[in-house]
A and B are shown apart, each in its own frame.
Chain A
Amino acid sequence: MSRVSAFFDRLSVLLGPVFRPIDARLNPILVKEVRQALRGRYFTVVFWLMVTIATTIGCLMLVAQGRRPDAAGGIWFFVSMYGCLSVSVHLFVPFSAFLSVGSEWDENTYDLLVLSDLRPSQIVLGKLLSAGVQVLLFYSAFGPFVVFAFLLRGLDLTGAAWILGGTLITSFALTSLAVCLSSLVRHKFARVMLMAVLAAILIGASVVSIVSATQLLMMRIFHAPEFRDVALAFFTGALTVAVFSLAYAATRFTHPEENRSTSLRVLTTTVVLIACGWGTYLYHVHRDPEIVGGLGVATLACLTLLSTTFVAEEEKLGRRVRMQVPKNPVLALLAAPFLPGGGRGVLHYLLNGVLVLLCVGFSFVYIPNTRSFALEGLPAATLLYFVTYLLLPTALLSRWSRDLRYRILARFLVPCLALLAFVVPTVVGFLLSDDAMLRMHHVGNPAWTVFEALDDDRPGLLVPVAVMALVTLLLNVPRVLVSLRELSKCSSERRRRELPRRVELEPDAVPEA
């Protein structure tokens, strides 16, 4: 025993200089979270429970295999094990991350973290990496089962690798989402509600992943070229959700006076560009205009959803952000869409919306033979609706943007307006016994209006929508102008502040000259 301990002592002396610098650079949250998780009851119980269940199921399946050998025995064994792994990494690990962020509010440690040198991104990343360590522990525990499944017959190793890789990325995305949701609110009741929402999402994700894995293994389509595109699109989507969730969670850990918006705005534009890139690539490969039209609308819907935060931000810049406005007035104006503030949020939304439309237009012009006015116009017509839904309530309430309650109300009104525009005319139709309105054939129904206008060549249907969008834009003009004026003022303030310094420096420079 003493020899063993002496060996390890010598080993630690030898390896100490190698690992100490790495240890000093490790994310502090990761170190703490891993320590807590491995000692905590939650992880220990879940880990051993899942391993026990997997072992029991494995033994039962082997017994069944022994009696009646099945050609797809390996697949069924893998699917059973995968079920346990999926529940562990899709349900329990993200939930643990949710609880971990929540405990920072409950245990009054959030303030201590904010006061430290840790950047918000480090805090969020530490939580995610700790969940990653737990996922790896689950993978290592389930690894022997997967190898055993391969030794039985029927399991495609490439397929298993795709599924396990996909599971890793999905778990990463779900954990990021859990961290984001938990960082949104501190109030216990609201967090319990979010916990219920998250639980539903995680259970759904676990079930879908098990069903999808079974289907994919049975269909054996892992070598098909279409599968590669679908898998790549899925991974891009999952990574986008993960990065967005982490970025949003990081802003929640940022000091309110600091810039909480620019990183999210840049990320949104990046996502729009990625979606545009995807659209162009898919159009180039498949020559299917529906893909571009559909992707354009989906991108605009996501953009509108994400922009509800930006367009309902406080109009005025915080003191800290004022110091960061570029000194060059032209640069300040160019940076406007990416700086915080509701008015600048409008510019950001319009910029990205135009970007999507340009990309769709480019895709259709790129291959003229497949030019389709109906599908080309689809994203543009949809954008008219989105502009009204998003910018009307926020423009009307922007005057009170300093008050958090009004900002929340403005964001809440965006989906409400969409719903009301859809439901109210239908109810009126019911009251007036108007058959067309009752069947939702009215301008409040974007699906009917857009397709009727474009497919049946009745562009007149879009006129009221366009007028409404135009009125909404006009209502937003004052706040956009005010926001631009503020930027110009901040920029000139910064230039003025720099001026005395230069004057002070000049006398020193003269003798040297």
Chain B
Amino acid sequence: MTAALEVRNLVRRFGSFKAVDDVSFRVERGQICGFIGPNGAGKTTTMRIAATLDLPDSGDVFLEGRSVLEAPRAARQRLGFMPDSFGAYTYVTVLEYLDFFARAYGLGRERTKTIERLVEFTSLGSLLGKATTALSKGMKQRLCLAKTMLSDPDVLILDEPAAGLDPRARIELRELVKALADMDKAVLISSHILSELGETCDSVLIIEEGRVKAHGTVAEITRTLRSEELHVFARALSGPEVLEKALLESPGVTTVRIERDGAVFSFAGDEVQLAQLIEALVGRGLRLIEITPEGIDLEDVFLSLTEGRVQ
């Protein structure tokens, strides 16, 4: 089956410097793929090539199986690219900005309805008469997203859309991105805010020095990093010392350390055996009030896979 967006063996050099080195990945329809990497890792270059704005030295990008290099105009009609910097025009209001791009995307008489729909989707209704240069960063990002969606693209490439946004604007943007995936669009999104991507994305691509370090769902990637042992935080009404003693006497528990008002212990076993251990502890009269397996999040994955090297 052809993917909505497929990047195949992409290589891009700037002189002797390899910005993108054999990058390959796929994004299906209705899927959000997070693109993570330190500054200068090759994210923007890859995205610009996919958006037909740059050329690779080798490799290709396909939209629904069609090469963007061989048919850039056709690709642009199916693709929405939101660059990391907002291009505002002076002396142009929000409505005029959207009207201009609607005309530029060839929307004829239907452009009024399309603009109305997108203004509602991005909640820009109260700002239609405001100059684009006078908008806040969050509102500019919304406007840029509305502009990107004017042509109703199947694939959306969003380069750092959450950069510089306040927490509320970030949450709102996250909801918008989720709504886009619900509309069966393929979304490739790069961001530095890893917790955001972990919650939003169906799959994640980690890139460093132009090379793909990991690709898959968040669960798949964290599974590869998980050690043999489970790390669990527990808290009991009887206090951390009693809990520590009980844990040390339990089978499978290798290390225990008191932390906050509970204990963190390492357990050599799977989740079924952990459930048995909890049962045993309760059976011994220990009044447990919290058991939290300490998972590996995207930040841990990112830190362990990348070395923070900037090219």
Complex interface: chain A residues within 8 A of B55 (CB) = 256-257
Q: Is A69 interfacial (CB-CB < 8 Å)?
A: no
Complex interface: chain B residues within 8 A of A109 (CB) = 87-89
CB of A31 to closest CB in B, whole Å: 7
Complex interface: chain B residues within 8 A of A115 (CB) = 51-53, 76, 79, 81
Contact B104 A118 (CB under 8 A): yes
Q: Is B108 interfacial (CB-CB < 8 Å)?
A: yes
- For chain B residues 145-173, which have a beta carbon within 8 Å of chain A? 147, 151
- Kindly count the residue-residue contacts between A and B in the assembled complex, taking CB atoms under 8 Å apart: 87
Q: Is A32 interfacial (CB-CB < 8 Å)?
A: yes
Complex interface: chain B residues within 8 A of A36 (CB) = 89-92
Complex interface: chain A residues within 8 A of B69 (CB) = 257, 319-320
Contact A31 B87 (CB under 8 A): no
Beyond A114-B53, A257-B55, A319-B69, whether A107 also contacts B88 by CB under 8 A is yes
The interface size of chain A toward B, counting residues with CB under 8 Å, comes to 33
Chain B residue with the shortest CB-CB distance to A116: B104
CB of A191 to closest CB in B, whole Å: 18
Q: Is B22 interfacial (CB-CB < 8 Å)?
A: no
- For chain A residues 21-45, which have a beta carbon within 8 Å of chain B? 21, 24-26, 28-29, 31-32, 35-36, 39-40
CB of A251 to closest CB in B, whole Å: 15
Chain B residue with the shortest CB-CB distance to A110: B87
- For chain A residues 76-129, which have a beta carbon within 8 Å of chain B? 103, 107-118
Q: Is A156 interfacial (CB-CB < 8 Å)?
A: no
CB of B69 to closest CB in A, whole Å: 5
Contact A107 B52 (CB under 8 A): no
Q: Which 4 A-B pairs have the closest CB atoms?
A: A28-B103, A109-B87, A116-B104, A39-B91
Name the one of B71, B81, B90, B108 contacting A40, with C-beta atoms under 8 angstroms: B90
CB of A132 to closest CB in B, whole Å: 18
Give bound CA distance, A323 to B69, whole Å: 11
Complex interface: chain A residues within 8 A of B106 (CB) = 117
Give bound CA distance, A25 to B83, whole Å: 28
* Interface size, B (range): 35 or more
Q: Is B96 interfacial (CB-CB < 8 Å)?
A: yes
Q: Quick one: CB contact mask for A375-408 with B, threshold 8 Å, 1 for yes?
A: 0000000000000000000000000000000000
Give bound CA distance, A32 to B96, whole Å: 8
- For chain B residues 41-68, which have a beta carbon within 8 Å of chain A? 51-53, 55, 67
Q: Is A255 interfacial (CB-CB < 8 Å)?
A: yes
Q: Quick one: CB contact mask for B117-156 with A, threshold 8 Å, 1 for yes?
A: 0000000000000000000000000000001000100000
Q: Is A258 interfacial (CB-CB < 8 Å)?
A: yes
Q: Is B25 interfacial (CB-CB < 8 Å)?
A: no
Give bound CA distance, A448 to B100, whole Å: 58
Complex interface: chain A residues within 8 A of B233 (CB) = none
CB of A44 to closest CB in B, whole Å: 11
Complex interface: chain B residues within 8 A of A20 (CB) = 109
Complex interface: chain B residues within 8 A of A255 (CB) = 52, 72
CB of B31 to closest CB in A, whole Å: 22
Beyond A36-B90, A115-B51, whether A320 also contacts B72 by CB under 8 A is yes
Q: Is B86 interfacial (CB-CB < 8 Å)?
A: yes
Beyond A32-B92, A257-B55, whether A112 also contacts B147 by CB under 8 A is yes
Contact B87 A107 (CB under 8 A): yes
Chain A residue with the shortest CB-CB distance to B68: A257
Complex interface: chain A residues within 8 A of B53 (CB) = 111, 114-115
Question: Which of A21, A111, A320 has the largest count of B CB atoms less than 10 A from its CB?
Answer: A111
Chain B residue with the shortest CB-CB distance to A104: B87
Give bound CA distance, A513 to B71, whole Å: 36
Q: Is B77 interfacial (CB-CB < 8 Å)?
A: yes
CB of B212 to closest CB in A, whole Å: 24
Contact A35 B96 (CB under 8 A): yes
Complex interface: chain B residues within 8 A of A256 (CB) = 55
Question: Which of A29, A108, A117 has the largest count of B CB atoms less than 10 A from its CB?
Answer: A117
Contact B91 A111 (CB under 8 A): no
Chain A residue with the shortest CB-CB distance to B72: A255
Name the one of A21, A40, A116, A319 contacting B105, with C-beta atoms under 8 angstroms: A116
Name the one of B52, B70, B77, B83 contacting A319, with C-beta atoms under 8 angstroms: B70
Contact A107 B104 (CB under 8 A): no
Contact A112 B109 (CB under 8 A): no
Chain B residue with the shortest CB-CB distance to A119: B73
Give bound CA distance, A20 to B51, whole Å: 33
Other A-B contacts than A29-B104, A112-B101, A117-B106, 4 sampled, CB-CB below 8 A, are A32-B92, A32-B96, A113-B104, A257-B55
Complex interface: chain B residues within 8 A of A323 (CB) = 70
